[in-house]
Amino acid sequence: MPLGITGIDHIQLTVPKALEAQSLDFYRNVLGLAEIPKPDELRARGGAWFQVGVLQFHIGVDPEPWPKSKRHVCFLVPDIRAARAAAVAKGATVEEEGEAEGLKRFFLRDPAGNRIEIGQR
């Protein structure tokens, strides 16, 4: 019997405590995500929450770093060229770019090494 999953409420990535400030700056200022308040009972854990369309994107804090991987989130944009130019202008390094299954995309990493995909359909 299936679980009956109907959607996604939020996505969470984590960053190591030592890179929390730089990583939150990346999401706030390079990606320009709209930050929303965390519940009072969760603020002491660190990190931040952001609203992206109808979904929430959460950044949690881990005590230690981890190796780079291909795990990622893909943020959609209306203009891939403008988004790439804006990210590069704010100091982000494009790691890879191309197109797959009709999705024009590029990848970059946050200061903690999380892979971020930016795409346009």
Write down the pTM of the prediction.
Answer: 0.92
Any residues with CB less than 8 A from the CB of 85 and at least 6 apart, and which?
none
For position 46, what pLDDT does the model report? Answer: 96
For position 6, what pLDDT does the model report? Answer: 83
For position 100, what pLDDT does the model report? Answer: 94
Digitized pLDDT (tens) for each residue of the chain, 121 residues in all: 787 788 888 999 999 999 999 999 999 999 999 999 999 999 999 999 999 999 999 999 999 988 989 999 999 999 999 999 999 999 999 999 999 999 999 999 999 999 999 999 9
